[in-house]
Structure 1
Amino acid sequence: MSWSKLKQNLESFLCPALNGRVEYRATSYRYLLGKSGDCYITVDKKNVLNMSDTTTSIRWYQTDQEIKNDPNILIPVNNEEIEAIRKESKGAVPEDRLQVMARSRKISVHAKELLLVQAALSKSNFTVAATTFLSTSIEENLESNDILLNILALVDRRVGKKRILNMSEQIKLKHPAVQFFYELRRSTM
């Protein structure tokens, strides 16, 4: 599919409040061998998400320690996870420390997942991801671990107000790029 047709299809699915504010752009380098074009998403004419540039306003993590120390990431811990640590330690760990240990384990797994997804995005081909988005259901795109599929689904008109509002806890565990577009969509309601 040509870029112009793909762009037209993507923009036809934008929610009405973001129509004209969110744009999909691409550059190509016809005469430079080995240099592929860049694709990026702009919001209000500002480059917000560039697949090959980490200097945008969205936070990109370099190490898992940055994720673990980020105060904006809130990892909820449930009673089953605390009980699992209590059983492993055979009751030798104080109660207040159990929650800290459970959160630490959970955020370590989360940090690895975020870095993996972020690395996949920087190498991804926007047109492949956009084609995948157009050919799969909106539910699959929202549940996907792919940052780009999540973003395209969040700005989609098929995702209603109630669903957006119910996703607030789920979004806290997503990459800051996904959180940015979630807040953008919420601000239009």
Structure 2
Amino acid sequence: MSWSKLKQQLESFLSPALLGRFEYRATSYRYLPDKAGQCYIAVDKKNVLSMSDSTTLIRWYQTELEIKNDSAIEIPINHEEIEAVRKDTNGKVPEDRLKVMARSRKLSEYAKEIFSAQSSLSKSNFVVVANKFLSTSIEESLESNDILLNILALVDRRIGKKRLLNMAEKMMLKHPIVQYFYELRLNTL
């Protein structure tokens, strides 16, 4: 499928509130047919997401320590996770320390997911992911670990206000770029 047709299909699913603010862009190399072009997502005429560019407006993590030390990350911890730590330590650890240990475990899992998502995004082909988005259900795209699928689903008009509001806790565990587009969409309600 050509870029213009793909772009037209993606824009047909775009939320009406984002029309004029959100834009899919692509560069191509006319004289280098073997070199793929770059794809960008722009918001308010600024490139917010470039497929393999770490200089975008969103923070890209380099180490697990950066994620653990980022005060902006809020990880919800439930009672079952605290109980799992208590069971692993045979109940010999104070209650306040159990919460710290559970949060640390969850942050480590979160870091692994973030790195996996970042590496797949830098290697992925926008056109392939966009075609996958167009052929799968919106629920699959939202539940996916693929950053780009999450973004395409969040800006989709089929995601209503109620569903957006119910996703708040899930979005806290997503990559910062996905959280950015979630906030963008929330602000358009």
Cα distance in 2 for partners of 1:82, 1:36 equals 48
Cα distance in 2 for partners of 1:21, 1:170 equals 25
1:44 aligns to 2:44 (yes or no) = yes
Which residue identity does 1:126 align to in structure 2?
F
Cα distance in 2 for partners of 1:88, 1:174 equals 27
1:87 aligns to 2:69 (yes or no) = no
1:21 aligns to 2:37 (yes or no) = no
Look up the match of 2:115. 115
* 1:1-43 CA-partner distances (Å, limit 9, x unpaired): 1100000000000011101211101101122365321001001
* 1:138-181 CA-partner distances (Å, limit 9, x unpaired): 11111111000000010000000110111111101000110110
Offset of residue 88 of structure 1: 1.7
Cα distance in 1 for partners of 2:99, 2:43 equals 40
Offset of residue 133 of structure 1: 0.3
Instruction: Say if 1:9 and 1:33 are closer, same or farther in 2 by CA, change over 3 A.
Output: closer
Cα distance in 1 for partners of 2:146, 2:17 equals 24
Offset of residue 187 of structure 1: 0.6
User: What is the TM-score when the length of structure 1 is the normalising length?
Assistant: 0.97
Look up the match of 1:77. 77
Look up the match of 2:154. 154
Question: Cα RMSD between the aligned structures?
Answer: 1.0
Can you give the 5+ residue segments of structure 1 that lack an aligned partner in the other structure? Answer: none
Cα distance in 2 for partners of 1:107, 1:126 equals 29
Q: After TM superposition, list the pairs within 5 Å mapping 1:118-133 onto structure 2.
A: 118-133=118-133
Look up the match of 1:106. 106
Cα distance in 2 for partners of 1:99, 1:88 equals 13
User: What is the TM-score when the length of structure 2 is the normalising length?
Assistant: 0.97
Offset of residue 104 of structure 1: 0.5
Percent identity over the alignment is: 74
Look up the match of 2:177. 177
Cα distance in 1 for partners of 2:52, 2:110 equals 23
Which residue identity does 1:47 align to in structure 2?
N
Cα distance in 2 for partners of 1:166, 1:120 equals 27
May I ask how many residue pairs the two structures share in their alignment? 189
